[in-house]
Amino acid sequence: MATPLMEMDNIKKNFGPVIALGGVSFDIYAGECHCLLGDNGAGKSTFIKTMSGVHKPTGGVMRVNGKEVSFATPRDAMTAGIATVYQDLAMIPLMSVTRNFWMGREPRKGFGPFKWIDFKTANRITFEEMARMGINLREADQAVGTLSGGERQSVAIARAVHFGAKVLILDEPTSALGVRQTSNVLATIDRVRKAGIGVVFITHNVRHAMAVGDRFTVLNRGQTHGTAMRGDIKPEELQDLMAGGQELAELEGSLGGTI
């Protein structure tokens, strides 16, 4: 197989005496959707924050395209093509879609020190990118607050793709969404993957993971329990791995296998 877009090798992260990650290995190839599953407190957030440059790992090696890297800030990770879409921090609701889309990278025109945002271009590109994601905006300067949760995730994904993300990390993009919005976001993930981008999909919902995932890695109490290919593993097994097996099996019995 080719070199992975990004490789996390035996990553450790301690917060004082707490071991949040105890040696996690994970990789992502172009055009695949690699699901990272785990229950609350399993270390998913710590792991993706390490991937995206928010935290520095205590130990282990990170490689992008086979080369060892170290990110000082989220900006460094973004420059390396690692983009992260956070569940609730994706967008600023009071600002327009265009302003959100271009935040931090506003296109400008003007002369010398007098530069202003080229809103005509910005609005046009925003409109086109949104249409490509299947969202028809009424107008590009409508506030993000008027969009649904799923649409906000899609705007954030479109933004990351437009700015050249090679690896797209999605932090629980579906956990707060309804059924229809979830399927929209899952469809968006599929579209992004087909464009050759590596998608890291973090979730604790096995059904959502099964819908789009190519590979699955389960994180539990700061450890991985290995990576499985699609078709090699059944949803029930994933669920068991996430919960650490035993207790959930008992619970599931009493709930009639509905979780």
Partner 1 sequence: MTDERLKQVSSLRRAMIRPELGAICGAILVFVFFLMIAGDSGMFAPEGIKNWTVVSAQFAIIAVGACLLMIAGEFDLSVGSMIGFSGVVIAILSVHMGWPVWAAIIAAFVIAMAIGALNGFLVIKTGLPSFIVTLAFLYILRGLTIWLSITTTRQTIIGGVKEAAVGDPLAFLFGGVIFKDLFQWFGDMGWVGTFTRGTRAGQPIVEGIPMLVVWAIVLVIFGHFLLTRTRFGNWIFAAGGDAKAARYVGVPVDRVKILMFMFTAFCATVFATCQVMEFGSAAADRGLLKEFEAIICVVIGGALLTGGYGSVIGAALGALIFGVVQQGLFFAGAESSLFRVFLGTILILAVIMNTYIRRMITGER
Q: In whole angstroms, what is the distance from residue 177 CA to residue 154 CA?
A: 12
* Contact residue for partner 1 among 67, 108, 124, 207 (CB under 8 A): 108
218 forms bridges with which residues in the sheet? Answer: 37
Report the run of H or E that residue 247 belongs to, with start and end. helix 246-255
* For partner 1, the closer CB: 84 or 239: 84
Instruction: Mark the segment that binds partner 1 (CB under 8 A) among 11-19, 38-46, 78-86, 196-204.
Output: 78-86
CB of 147 to partner 1, least distance (A): 8
75 is an interface residue for partner 1 by CB under 8 A: yes
CB of 54 to partner 1, least distance (A): 8
Instruction: Mark the segment that binds partner 1 (CB under 8 A) among 9-17, 87-95, 199-207, 250-258.
Output: 87-95
Q: In whole angstroms, what is the distance from residue 108 CA to residue 119 CA?
A: 8
* Contact residue for partner 1 among 19, 61, 69, 117 (CB under 8 A): 117
Q: In whole angstroms, what is the distance from residue 204 CA to residue 227 CA?
A: 16
Q: In whole angstroms, what is the distance from residue 202 CA to residue 170 CA?
A: 6
* For partner 1, the closer CB: 108 or 234: 108
92 is an interface residue for partner 1 by CB under 8 A: yes
Q: In whole angstroms, what is the distance from residue 251 CA to residue 110 CA?
A: 64
Task: Say which residues have a Cβ less than 8 Å from residue 11's Cβ, sequence separation at least 6.
Answer: 21, 23, 24, 25, 26, 47, 50, 57, 59, 60, 61, 62
Q: Binders of partner 1 among 178-217, rule CB under 8 A?
A: 184
CB of 213 to partner 1, least distance (A): 24
**Comparing C-alpha atoms, which of 222, 221, 219, 220 is closest to residue 200?**
219
Residue numbers of the site for partner 1 (CB under 8 A)? 54, 74-75, 78, 84, 86, 89-95, 99, 102-106, 108, 115-117, 119, 134-136, 138, 143, 145-146, 151, 184
